[in-house]
Amino acid sequence: MPPADRSPLDGPADGLAAASALRAMADRLEDAEVERAMRAGWSWSQVAEALGVTRQAVHKKHLRRLLLAQIELRRRSGE
Amino acid sequence: MNRLLGARRLAPLLVSWEIAPSLVLQFEVEAKLDGSKFIEAEHMLLALATNPDSDAARLLKESGLDHERLTSALNEERHRTLAFAGMNAPDKKLVEATELDNSLSLGTSAKAALRRALIGSRHHRRRARLRSSDLLAGILEAELGTVPRALAIAGIDRAALIGRARGSE
């Protein structure tokens, strides 16, 4: 807890809030861009490579949402 | 409370504390409108402001805060926060993605607000009764984070508002 007279807008609070906001924004941007890439016909492997993570990680994180978005997903053999 | 998952699973417990089911659903509506993956304290605050008949909304209104003013203060907080990192808030369309159809979970700030609200609430037959004003106080009692930042930016006397919320009948 900060000293009682410290504002929640002081320097460290600003920086920590910015770190948290950027994390949330990066997450939303990733959701949007993965969806855009898959709509454009990118493969899971290509998206994973561009993000710098494994194919399995992208699959696990985004599959359900992409199915809900009714995006035609490329099968592994078609990559 | 940490083991509770989505808002719909949480609803029976919140209702047992006499929080209106419609308010619980509004938490989720506000979080989804904000594009958030969790219900956070600011979404609970916005939800409280949507029901003009509640004590919480009346107390907020007396401090000049309605849903619109809160939304604007929260937007201002987001702009200021991102500006610290040299960024502008992105166009909503840029980060628009298909929403999952699941119920949202409570985020850390929302759980902490509920915990504080319960600690300061009155009990009836050994059961906690959370009034909307208790919930408001629990949200406002955070010293750090999005809500106190937004209220500080809006020039709101948070301590006075907490005092009125805890003291209200």
- ipTM over 0.90? The verdict is no
DSSP string of A16-60, one letter each residue: HHHHHHHHHHHHHHHHHHHHHHHHTT--HHHHHHHHTS-HHHHHH
Which domains does chain B possess?
Answer: 7-167 (1.10.1780.10)
pLDDT, residue B112, reads 94
**How would you write the pLDDT of chain B (169 residues) with one tens digit per residue?**
544 445 566 666 666 667 778 888 899 999 999 989 899 999 999 999 998 888 999 999 999 999 999 999 999 999 999 999 998 888 878 888 888 878 888 999 999 999 999 887 766 556 667 889 999 999 999 999 999 999 999 999 999 999 999 886 5
Q: Are the beta carbons of B15 and B21 closer than 8 angstroms?
A: yes
Burial of B89 (0-12, 13-18, 19+ CB in 10 A): middle
pLDDT at position B8: 61
Put simply, the answer to whether A31 touches B87 (Cβ < 8 Å) is no
Residue of A7, A28, A60 to mutate when probing chain B, most B C-beta within 10 A = A28
pLDDT of residue B154: 94
Q: What is the pLDDT of residue B9?
A: 63
Distance, in Å, from the CA atom of B164 to the CA atom of B60, rounded to the nearest integer, reads 10
Structure tokens that stand for A44 in this block? 């899971």
pLDDT tens readout for residues A22-79: 999 999 999 999 999 999 999 999 999 999 999 999 999 999 999 999 988 876 654 4
User: What residues does B122 pair with on adjacent strands?
Assistant: B129
Residues A14-33 have pLDDT tens digits of 999 999 999 999 999 999 99
pLDDT at residue A1 in the model = 53
CB contact under 8 A, A18 and B153: no
Both structure tokens of B102: 């699941």
Give the start-to-end residue ranges of the domains of chain A.
13-78
Closest alpha carbon within chain A to B90: A25
Contact assignment for B82 to A22 by CB distance below 8 Å: yes
